[in-house]
Amino acid sequence: MKIEVIENVLKLNDELAEQNRTRLRAAGVPCIDLMGGPGCGKTALLEATLATLGHVMRIGVCAGDLATTRDAERLHALAEQVVQINTGKSCHLEAHQIGQALARFDLPALDLLIIENVGNLICPVGFDLGQSAKVGMFSLSEGDDKAVKHPHIVCACDLLLLNKLDLAPYLTFDRMRFRDEIERLHPGIELVELSAKAKDAGFLRWIQWLTAHARGAEHESANLSGAR
Amino acid sequence: MKIEVIENVLKLNDELAEQNRTRLRAAGVPCIDLMGGPGCGKTALLEATLATLGHVMRIGVCAGDLATTRDAERLHALAEQVVQINTGKSCHLEAHQIGQALARFDLPALDLLIIENVGNLICPVGFDLGQSAKVGMFSLSEGDDKAVKHPHIVCACDLLLLNKLDLAPYLTFDRMRFRDEIERLHPGIELVELSAKAKDAGFLRWIQWLTAHARGAEHESANLSGAR
């Protein structure tokens, strides 16, 4: 009985996620689900990303947290549109919350939507939100065992980021081991090592990936429209 | 119906936690539930704690993770007894898992048990494990907004730690603001700022708190035995 209820919850989530996906595709808006532990630098990455791309792309952000509007406040000046979702005690975003948020966005006025999930390496992974790509974020200060300890996020994502490279001189972190363990868990996935703070070469690779994904998702949307 | 099932799960957890509590009290073993986000330094703190107290107290560790025995391997040489719990996809430890772990410990041969919960600032908070005290851990590298973003762990704990003070010169972190927000959320709770790596004055305060708690819990156990 318990399992049946859990399956229904996940099944309902998947149905609502598919509705979100259809809505986003119809509007031609690619959507990134950015997941990572608390304090890995998701908001800092978004600040740097918006500062870099804000003049050439209209980017909306949907920020999830248990409480406060801190992230939305930080991003408000930079993003085209921002919606904050406060989950209360819930440890992840779900498709129905994104559905409510999408209704508040002016989607045709956006080129890209980034969802900043609740800071958590575990629970967000199981919930499809209707995104076009999932990005998982780690940071150097969390330690080099976090990928192997969290295999599900490593396997679920389309791109992985390792942030806070600027702290490398002050930390013990075996980047080769981290990279090898990710390759074993999810062969072929790209891992971008970067510093959102320093806006280094890795950060530029992230910007490149993001713009390429936005273009690809737009093409997909055009194809879908053409097929109708 | 869904809510009823969730309540039953939590009710069952609370019953099993109470069984764990009774068992630990009968054996005179105080038990800390150490909670914190991934990479805040829980295992590093335990390594330093065991290295400091290992010769005067017999400390057992129960380490929770989704996957791997990395933490147990790190602590094995230092702790009196170690049990690793791999939760699979579950984001927190539950009382039934601790019950199974307690059966593997030789409790009369321990003076203290520390449970290192799964790295997660959110989900572990709701699950009583039968501990005598809950300790919540943050770190400087996570950013100074993490307490106010995670009010439930701040309110649920008996002691809060802020780790990685050694990284202060390289990070932007408003310690006064962090401290004020914690005081607003949970008036009177002690926040210990420390570096597990540097074993500084804050670390010694943690050791002092831990030994005092162990003594207090022993007295409580003696009183309970006397009352029977």
pLDDT tens sequence across B46-95: 999 999 999 999 999 999 999 899 999 899 889 889 999 999 888 999 99
pLDDT at residue B89, as a whole number:
86
pLDDT at residue B3, as a whole number:
52
Q: Which of A26, A215, A46 is nearest to A133 (CA)?
A: A215
- The answer to whether residue B225 scores a pLDDT higher than 50 is no
pLDDT at residue B135, as a whole number:
98
pLDDT at residue A228, as a whole number:
33
- For helices A201-227 and A2-26, give the axis angle rounded to 10 degrees: 80
Arithmetic mean of pLDDT, B131-139: 98
**Six-digit token string for B215:** 């003594």
More confident residue, B90 or A152: A152
Find chain A residues with C-beta within 8 A of B37's C-beta. Answer: 37-39, 119
Interface test with A, best of B12, B65, B66 (most A CBs within 10 A): B66
Find chain A residues with C-beta within 8 A of B66's C-beta. Answer: 122, 149-152
With CB atoms and an 8 Å threshold, state whether A68 touches B148: yes
pLDDT at residue A2, as a whole number:
47
Contact call for residues A37 and A142 (beta carbons, < 8 A): yes
More confident residue, A38 or B224: A38
- A125 burial type by CB count under 10 A (0-12 exposed, 13-18 middle, 19+ buried): buried
- The answer to whether residue B107 scores a pLDDT higher than 50 is yes
Find chain B residues with C-beta within 8 A of A164's C-beta. Answer: 141
Record the pTM. Answer: 0.90
Question: B111 to chain A, minimum CA–CA distance in Å?
Answer: 29
Of the candidates B39, B122, B152, which has its C-beta nearest A141's C-beta? B39
Mean pLDDT of chain B: 92
pLDDT at residue B155, as a whole number:
98
With CB atoms and an 8 Å threshold, state whether A149 touches B119: yes
Arithmetic mean of pLDDT, A148-164: 97
With CB atoms and an 8 Å threshold, state whether B149 touches A91: no
Q: How far is Cα B50 from Cα B80, in angstroms, rounded to an integer?
A: 9
Tell me, yes or no, if A142 comes closer than 8 A to chain B by beta carbon: yes
- The answer to whether residue B222 scores a pLDDT higher than 80 is no
Tell me, yes or no, if B86 comes closer than 8 A to chain A by beta carbon: no
Of the candidates A38, A66, A171, which has its C-beta nearest B37's C-beta? A38
Instruction: Report pLDDT digits (tens) over A157-182.
Output: 999 999 999 999 999 999 999 999 99
Find chain A residues with C-beta within 8 A of B122's C-beta. Answer: 66, 89, 91, 118, 120, 123
- pLDDT above 90 covers what percent of chain A? 83
Q: Which of A89, A45, A98, A78 is nearest to A207 (CA)?
A: A45
Question: Searching chain B, which residue's CA lies closest to the CA of residue A9?
Answer: B2
Question: A216 to chain B, minimum CA–CA distance in Å?
Answer: 32
Arithmetic mean of pLDDT, B167-185: 97
pLDDT at residue A45, as a whole number:
98
- What is the amino acid identity at position A135? V
Find chain A residues with C-beta within 8 A of B119's C-beta. Answer: 37, 121, 146, 149
pLDDT at residue B10, as a whole number:
83
With CB atoms and an 8 Å threshold, state whether A142 touches B39: yes
With CB atoms and an 8 Å threshold, state whether B66 touches A2: no
Mean pLDDT of chain A: 92
- The answer to whether residue B119 scores a pLDDT higher than 90 is yes
Contact call for residues A56 and A80 (beta carbons, < 8 A): no
Arithmetic mean of pLDDT, A28-39: 97
- The answer to whether residue A124 scores a pLDDT higher than 90 is yes
Question: Searching chain A, which residue's CA lies closest to the CA of residue B166?
Answer: A170
pLDDT at residue B4, as a whole number:
55
Arithmetic mean of pLDDT, A27-37: 97
Angle at the Cα of A69 from the Cα atoms of A67 and A74, rounded to 5 degrees: 135
Q: How far is Cα B59 from Cα B47, in angstroms, rounded to an integer?
A: 11
pLDDT at residue B7, as a whole number:
66
Arithmetic mean of pLDDT, B202-209: 98
Q: What is the 3-state secondary structure (H, E, C) of B88-118?
A: CCCCCCCHHHHHHHHHHCCHHHCCEEEEECC
pLDDT at residue B226, as a whole number:
42
| Confidence grade of residue A80 (pLDDT, cut at 50, 70, 90) | confident
pLDDT at residue B216, as a whole number:
85
Question: Searching chain A, which residue's CA lies closest to the CA of residue B71?
Answer: A145
pLDDT at residue A216, as a whole number:
85
| Confidence grade of residue B171 (pLDDT, cut at 50, 70, 90) | very high
Find chain A residues with C-beta within 8 A of B9's C-beta. Answer: 2
pLDDT at residue A223, as a whole number:
52
